[in-house]
Structure 1
Amino acid sequence: MVGDFMRDAREQLRMTQNELKEALNARLGRAYDKSRVSRWENGREAIPNDVACEIEALLQQRNAKAKVIALANQKGGVGKTTSALNLAACFRKSGHRTLLIDLDPQASATDWLLGQEGLQAHREGRSIYHCLLKDRPLNECIIPATDEIAGGTRPFDLVSSHIDLSEADGRREPGFEQALAEGIEELASSYDFIIIDAPPNLGLMTYMALVAADVVIVPVQTEPPDAMGVALLLTTIQKIQRRLNPRLRVGGILPTRYNNRQAVDREVLHHLIQYTAGRAAVLEPVPESNVYGNAAWNGAIASDVSSRSKAVAPYLRIAAAIATGKEPPLAELNLDWAETDNEGADKE
């Protein structure tokens, strides 16, 4: 790869030199600066082979349809929205065009990213409510990362939600569970990854997310009541696979707020690994850490602003595995999470 070709490739990717630098650093674990990218493009410095390979990989992915990933669990408070936001930020940080669809009427992801400005987006007719219940095309409901709403500081594009979306659960219309999938199909070539944050129930919106998805990841807090509910969700997923979406697969059970120093956490993790064997893999746990609360307090996403924190490393590794088609990191009971940013803080 020579400089001119690299410049053309970056323009095809619709990335600035700074964005390309960030993507390469995230994918290769390097610390390149913008001036290095400029020297490569101007032919003043040879382009390393691994850099050329990563750019080629990004170009190849542009020609494929987006992979749609749903985050679902019928129970609230399990880290579903946190996981959706952090995985989306990881994909975008590594150079992938990423869209997050907030399909939860509680609008937690929308509030996180837009704050009070989420209501403005809804009033402007740009929310998932308008797509599903007012027949507005999904691409017209997207709030770009650079949109002036809330300062345009989001790391990825967003389709926001609103409490009015709760009306959808009472809608009776033939094939309505396919509505989101139809909307996504029209813009699937515009993104590499589309993340769906499903509501905390097994209602119509969750079915809609599963019908639209290629992969479902199930966040589960490592507490006994949460682990017990996994069986019901896996059964629901199997029915969706059989009746409505044969391409859907389970990407894994994702333990969240895991504290290796707590015996109950270790026992729940052991139970999940044994109980789901043959049905779903249990992914590397996300450790409990103050880094998530601190980021949320500042309206930010932990994996975006604290990417070197050990607490967010599982999200980075899982996203990297999905993006490259490799097997994701799995849970092991001998993992040492004692050195997280939270230093073994107990659960509330």
Structure 2
Amino acid sequence: MAKKNTTQMLDGMPETPTLGATGRPLREFAEPQPLAQHGPARIISLCNQKGGVGKTTTTISLGAALAGYGRRVLCIDFDPQGALSAGLGVNTHDAITIYDLLLGSAKDPNAAIQRTSTPGLDIIPANIDLSAAEVHLVNEVAREQILASVLRKVSGDYDVVLIDCQPSLGLLTVNALTASHGVLIPLECEFFALRGVALLIETIDKVRDRLNPAIELDGILATMYDSRTLHSREVLERVVDAFGTDVLDTVIGRTVKFPDASVAGTPITQFAPEHPAAKAYRQLARELVSRGAVA
């Protein structure tokens, strides 16, 4: 009996799928369709009580990528360090900030909104004054819901609102979670970053039970990934094992282009549009649209 040609046998077999960094088959996410109309916005908090995990970089880059796909995006700088405002190159000196809106010294959020160099991407800035907000708000009635009442006045003009939270689980972060429909957790691929995720998810669950029943976990985004190191690969594997499909397929690699873009006050999608990091954030935008987290 004649032997079958090896090539013919292989041709009849399904191809082995290419695996991504998460260990799952790589998926292509289609470019989002244009929107027939804008608003009301879905509000997403970018939250992690550990600092330096890529919250601000993700807020800037994701916001710019979504704006590039025709979405109207409003970013809220909710960190007293004001890194989001600096990273988008907007003025915070003598400007109306989110602090003024929280305390009621400014009533109209539209007066605080500043345009950025990216069409379709706006921001309400913050500065060091915001560090005093928790002290001032602690005796306010419904103090956890003040940000939500501010955003209700402008959410109809946007498709998505991204809140860049400070590295804390204090009253400001609880305000952001109470105002949000979803939470995106940037998680550095480093062992110590893993330890606080369970506490953060516990906080989200408490907010869901007591203040905001509609809040959802939109995903965990692996950041600062370096495929050359065993440590990064092991941490990402543990995150996927622990959180399964809550971990997004998109993985953001470590690169010096991010600080360069921050110094320029420009999103990486404009600063180096063909860089793998810019492509990754455009993929993240497409993935969130495909998941229904963004219109």
Range class of TM-score, shorter chain: 0.7 to 0.9
Task: Give SS of 2:130's match.
Answer: helix
Tell me which stretches of 4 or more aligned residues in structure 1 moved more than 4 Å: 324-328
Q: What is the one-letter code of the residue matched to 2:124?
A: V
1:140, distance to aligned residue in structure 2 (A) = 2.0
Partner amino acid, structure 2, of 1:132: L
1:59 is aligned to 2:29: no
Which of 263, 286, 292 is the aligned partner of 2:258? 292
C-alpha displacement of 1:325: 4.3
Measured after TM superposition, the shift of residue 182 of structure 1 is: 1.0
Q: Is the 8 A contact 2:77 2:126 kept in 1?
A: yes
- Residues 299-335 of structure 1: per-residue CA shift (max 9 Å, x gap): 211123323222222221121232354589xxxxxxx
Gaps of 5+ in 2: 1-28
- Quick one: which of 79, 93, 103 aligns to 1:119? 93
Partner residue, 1:140: 111
CA shift for structure 1 position 120: 3.2
Match of 2:134 among 162, 169, 173: 169
SS of the residue 1:59 aligns to: coil
Greater Cα offset, 318-327 or 258-267:
318-327
SS at match of 2:184: strand
Percent identical pairs in the alignment equals 33
Q: Is residue 179 of structure 2 the alignment partner of residue 212 of structure 1?
A: yes
3-state SS, counterpart of residue 166 of structure 1: helix
1:8 is matched with: none
Indicate conservation of the 8 Å contact 2:222/2:247, yes or no.
no
Comparing both structures, which one devotes a greater share of its residues to strand? 2
Q: Is the Cα–Cα contact under 8 Å of residues 272 and 282 in structure 1 kept in the other structure?
A: no
What is the letter of the counterpart of residue 93 of structure 2? L
Pick aligned residue for 1:252 from 206, 219, 227: 219
Q: Any stretches of 5+ residues in structure 1 without a counterpart?
A: 1-26, 30-52, 146-152, 329-348
1:160 to 84, 104, 125: 125
- 2:88 maps to amino acid: L
Equivalent-residue separation in structure 2 for 1:68 and 1:127 (angstroms): 19
Question: Which structure carries more relative contact order (alpha carbon 8 Å, separation 6+)?
Answer: 2
SS in 2 for 1:102: strand
TM-score, scaled to structure 1? 0.71
Q: Is the 8 A contact 1:93 1:304 kept in 2?
A: no
What RMSD, in angstroms, separates the aligned Cα atoms of the two structures?
2.2
Which residue, out of 94, 98, 102, partners 1:128? 98
Equivalenced residue count is 262
The residue number in structure 2 matching 1:263 is: 230
Q: Distance in 1 between matches of 2:292 and 2:76?
A: 25
Cα distance 1:244–1:327, how it changes in 2: closer, same or farther (>3 A)?
Answer: closer
